[in-house]
Amino acid sequence: MKKLPKEAFIQDQKLIQQAKSFFLEKLCQELSLLEVQAPILTFQGDGIQDDLNGVEKPVAVQSQTLSRPLEIVQSLAKWKRQLLARSDFDIGTGIVTQMRAIRPDEEALTERHSLYVDQWDWEKVMSTDEASLDYLKETVETLYKAMRATDQLVASAMQREPLLPAEITFIQSEELMKQYPDLSPSQREYRACKEYGAVFIIGIGGELSDGTIHDGRAPDYDDWSSPAEDGYYGLNGDILVWNPVLEDAFELSSMGIRVSPEVMLQQLQIRNCEHRLNYLWHQQLMAGHLPQTIGGGIGQSRLMMFLLQKAHIGQVQFSVWPEELEIPVL
């Protein structure tokens, strides 16, 4: 068993707690969010479960007291929207949770991928008239402002220069594909992050003009099919930054304007998932019982790993790893 240097470990833990608390407070202030408690379980087959890329299998749980099978959540995209409807939140306000999840279908456990997911899952009510690329960009810039403020806090504590540039650069996934047609999506992200430092790649999940997609996205939470501008599509995206320790692009957040009933129906048809219309959550949306929202997730351990300049996510969270995997002590 490797020993952890006590003083350095304590110092890191205090800084992580300080940075998390500071970021959450900033996020709530900037986006008018209320922190609420998050569930860890959902009923199987009610449509609340987030299917992510559509291939991940959630962890099943059987209760001795409940007849229906349960699943551990993979994210809370649909649950948040339902809660906002039940609590009748006003336009311009929303919620944030400290979501904990298990994603056993990770293809590989790497320095940035863990079976255990901890993120700030947030959702905000908006009007249907605001569903535009401008509103998406405005929200991204507000979120990025909270990230930069936290970066400056940690930089001062660590006596280093801030890592994040003053501005975040917006790039369409289609535009990135045309700029680097011979590169894979991850290689394109590398180029963009290396050049700009922080980018928001727009249009994740929709088909590009070459027949590929930049990355997977479920058809029933983010809007990746609506026209944006200049012939591009998608009102969602990912925040990625240049990680100087890994010397690679590094994703911190996934977010987007959520599907309207019409957009969800269209995207379910594109993905041949119309059977989901039989789920309770999807019926609620189609009946107009759920508000139009914007939302996403921000990786807690991902952000701490980046800000504290750690080489492995296991240095900022406690999870399980292959025995042969060497995780740096600090």
Residues tagged active-site: 50, 103, 119, 238, 251, 254
Instruction: Read off the tokens for 166.
Output: 């003053």
Beta bridge partners of 257: 294
What DSSP state is assigned to residue 274? G
CA 301 to chain centre: 12
CB atoms within 10 A of CB 92: 12
| Whether 181 contacts 210, CB under 8 Å | yes
Distance CA 267, CA 252 (A): 25
Query: 318 to each of 28, 118, 234, 305, how far by Cα in Å?
Result: 26, 11, 36, 13
**Residue found under tokens 């929202």:** 293
| Whether 203 contacts 234, CB under 8 Å | yes
